[in-house]
Amino acid sequence: MMFRGLLILAYFCFSCIFVSAASINPIGISGKRFVDTVTGEPFFIKGVDYQPGGSSEVNSAQDPLSDPDTCARDIILFQELGINTVRIYSVNPELNHDECMTMLGMAGIYLILDVNSPLENQHLNRYEPWTTYNQDYLEHVFQVVEQFSGYNNTLGFFAGNEVINDKRSAQYSPPYVKQLIGDMKTYINQHCDRDIPVGYSAADDLKYRVPLSKYLECTDKDGKITNVDFYGVNSYQWCGKQTLESSGYDKLIEAYSDYSKPVFFSEFGCNRVLPRTFDEVKALFSKDMYDVFSGGLVYEFTQEPNNYGLVDIKEDGSATILEDFNQLKNHYKGLALPTKKDFMSAMSKNEQIEQASMSNLPLCSTKYENINIITKVAKDLAKPLIKKGISIEKGHFVDLDPENLKSKYKFYDNAGGELPSLNSMRIVNNFDSSKGSKDKSRKPKKNETNKISIVDSVWLCFAIVYIVYQFV
Ligand SMILES: *[C@@H]1O[C@H](CO)[C@@H](O)[C@H](O)[C@H]1NC(C)=O
Ligand SMILES: *[C@@H]1O[C@H](CO)[C@@H](O)[C@H](O)[C@H]1NC(C)=O
């Protein structure tokens, strides 16, 4: 009996050490795949787009990551849904995002962030980009980059979303988007602790599908680094019951099969057939697709006038889970993502492409179909800002109380029944915020009783085992 008790105790204290990781590992890129920079495992995006109220709700007082109470509420639902990534379209870098980013990190969730907003001087005008590509705009972009580079769970930045979406924008904007990507990469290279990837999110228009992706992928002959690190495709072509062929996904696979960088769906989830059953998730994470696509993000978390929501947020801050939420959860939760092992057995053909693309990144052509790349961009506009750096505090993880991880708001199911079991987020990564922060002046709070560091718990574990052993 004693011995069994000992085993149970030992099991219990070891599991409290290993259940949660001590840090959130940055994601990097290797060839055409995202990888966990610590474990080397491939990383697949299983996520949602998240912009409550739309980008126009971003202002001097709020954005999606400025209010810890709404973050706690929504992260509880992210975990219920089973996601590992959110994409946010607009933030205000003058606001503090430490608490929300810490919560996301603790929940094991990464962020892909667009650097633009609808506010003046915070986006490119797609028809007259030269009127908006200026110092004020670049300063905004670099502020966002500088601040969010401080968080390990910042997976990447989108330089633009659907900037090129018709004939006129395709006439003028491509070189500006490419220049901006280069500016961001240069800034990151000189001011950030790690190489955070920069990409572009494209409207999936057949006229630009291949040419624009190729243009943004290619390396300039003058050696300037202006190519994307990853490519996002907004795709709504799988509506209702479909197959790879009937949806046209087979053509998408074909179009991107030789792309040298990670590609994923930066938006998906056609709502022409309701309720959405999200069967495309099965396709997306099948062998047919995961060689080419690194997962995707469902558009979108909150219900807005365009009717793509998974969750309805009421005036009082309570959240009602809609039918689409449960449909998506059926696919996402418990979905086994491909691992290194899957590739070793399944990848031989593409592995060759990967080898080739890593050693031989495509050089830019002089011409691309349907887009014009000859517009001249003022090339050195970003130089002084990059040289000087941006004076804004880098974000960093902070210590949180268990109270912070609970929702102040109520949850309801589709029929109006309360869901009391959803009340607190689950800690996946129980990191000590004082580590991995460059800011030496911040001292770890020694006074906290309800958090146990890894080292403490190892000692505690040995102590318990030792004491119990004495009694056996
Ligand atoms: C951030 O990532 C670095 C590199 O892997 C790691 O050393 C550090 O502990 C991480 N910090 C946190 C808080 O997860
Ligand atoms: C530290 O703990 C003491 C007693 O447990 C408490 O009175 C004090 O407010 C705490 N200080 C901080 C900074 O949390």
Domain chopping of the chain, boundaries: 45-341+358-412
Per the residue annotation, which of 80, 99, 146, 162 is the catalytic one?
162
The protein residue whose alpha carbon is closest to atom 3 in ligand 1 is 436
**447/280 Cα distance (integer angstroms):** 49
Our mutation pick for probing the ligand 1 site, out of 39, 152, 192, 434, counting the most ligand atoms within 8 A of Cβ, is: 152
Our mutation pick for probing the ligand 1 site, out of 435, 442, 451, counting the most ligand atoms within 8 A of Cβ, is: 435
- Average pLDDT (28-37) is 95
**Range of lowest pLDDT (15-24, 82-91, 135-144):** 15-24
Per the residue annotation, which of 99, 146, 217, 267 is the catalytic one?
267
Q: pLDDT higher for 444 or 393?
A: 393
pLDDT in the model for residue 350? 55
Per DSSP, the residues of 404-469 read GGB-SS-EE-TTS-B-TT--B---SB---TTTT---TTPPPPTT-SS---HHHHHHHHHHHHHHHH
**296/84 Cα distance (integer angstroms):** 10
Ligand 1 atom closest to Cα of residue 152: 1
Measured from the alpha carbon of residue 428, the closest ligand is: 1
Measured from the alpha carbon of residue 150, the closest ligand is: 1
Ligand 1 atom closest to Cα of residue 24: 14
Distance of CA 161 to the CA centre of its chain: 14
**118/303 Cα distance (integer angstroms):** 20
For the chain, the residue count is 472
Which residues' Cβ are closer than 6 Å to ligand 1? 23-26, 38, 152, 397, 431, 435-436
Cis peptide before 275, with omega less than 30 degrees from 0? yes
The protein residue whose alpha carbon is closest to atom 5 in ligand 1 is 25
The model carries a pTM of 0.86
Q: pLDDT higher for 446 or 28?
A: 28
> Letter for the amino acid at 161?
N
pLDDT in the model for residue 310? 98
**51/48 Cα distance (integer angstroms):** 10
pLDDT in the model for residue 343? 83
**223/217 Cα distance (integer angstroms):** 13
Q: Which residues fall within 8 angstroms of residue 367, CB to CB, at 6 or more apart?
A: 373
pLDDT in the model for residue 469? 78
**Range of lowest pLDDT (161-165, 377-381, 383-387):** 377-381
Separation of 152 CA from ligand 1 center, angstroms?
6
Measured from the alpha carbon of residue 451, the closest ligand is: 2
Our mutation pick for probing the ligand 1 site, out of 23, 397, 398, 455, counting the most ligand atoms within 8 A of Cβ, is: 23
pLDDT at 7 over 70: no
348-365 tens-digit pLDDT: 555 555 554 555 679 999
- Average pLDDT (326-345) is 91
Separation of 454 CA from ligand 1 center, angstroms?
14
pLDDT at 444 over 50: no
Separation of 448 CA from ligand 2 center, angstroms?
8
pLDDT at 13 over 70: no
- Average pLDDT (204-216) is 97
- Specify whether 41 is catalytic: no
- Average pLDDT (28-48) is 96
- Residue of 112, 87, 121, 144 whose CA lies nearest to 27: 112
pLDDT at 413 over 80: yes
The protein residue whose alpha carbon is closest to atom 9 in ligand 1 is 436
pLDDT in the model for residue 400? 93
Ligand 1 atom closest to Cα of residue 37: 5
pLDDT at 406 over 60: yes
Three-class SS state of 384: helix
- Average pLDDT (239-257) is 97
**472/467 Cα distance (integer angstroms):** 9
pLDDT at 205 over 60: yes
State what percent of residues in the chain have pLDDT above 70. 86
pLDDT at 196 over 50: yes
pLDDT at 203 over 80: yes
- Specify whether 162 is catalytic: yes
Average pLDDT, the chain: 89
**167/452 Cα distance (integer angstroms):** 58
Separation of 205 CA from ligand 1 center, angstroms?
39
pLDDT in the model for residue 279? 97
Structure confidence at residue 437 as a pLDDT band (50, 70, 90) = very low
Separation of 24 CA from ligand 1 center, angstroms?
6
Distance of CA 152 to the CA centre of its chain: 11
pLDDT in the model for residue 349? 55
Structure confidence at residue 441 as a pLDDT band (50, 70, 90) = very low
- Domain 45-341+358-412 maps to which CATH number in 3.40.50.700, 3.20.20.80, 3.40.630.10, 3.40.50.2300? 3.20.20.80
Measured from the alpha carbon of residue 106, the closest ligand is: 1
Separation of 299 CA from ligand 1 center, angstroms?
30
Asked if residues 7 and 1 have their Cβ atoms less than 8 Å apart, the reply is no
- Residue of 441, 470, 360, 345 whose CA lies nearest to 31: 360
The protein residue whose alpha carbon is closest to atom 14 in ligand 1 is 23
- Average pLDDT (106-116) is 98
130-142 tens-digit pLDDT: 999 999 999 999 9
41-50 tens-digit pLDDT: 999 999 999 9
Separation of 377 CA from ligand 1 center, angstroms?
38
pLDDT in the model for residue 446? 47
Structure confidence at residue 463 as a pLDDT band (50, 70, 90) = confident
Ligand 1 atom closest to Cα of residue 23: 14
State what percent of residues in the chain have pLDDT above 90. 78
Ligand 1 atom closest to Cα of residue 105: 14
pLDDT in the model for residue 18? 45
Q: Which residues fall within 8 angstroms of residue 163, CB to CB, at 6 or more apart?
A: 124, 126, 169, 173, 176, 177, 200
**Range of lowest pLDDT (10-24, 89-103, 379-393):** 10-24
The protein residue whose alpha carbon is closest to atom 11 in ligand 1 is 436
Report long-range pairs for 165-169 (Cβ below 8 Å, ≥24 apart).
165/126, 165/203, 165/205, 168/126, 168/127, 169/126, 169/127
Separation of 258 CA from ligand 1 center, angstroms?
33
Measured from the alpha carbon of residue 437, the closest ligand is: 1
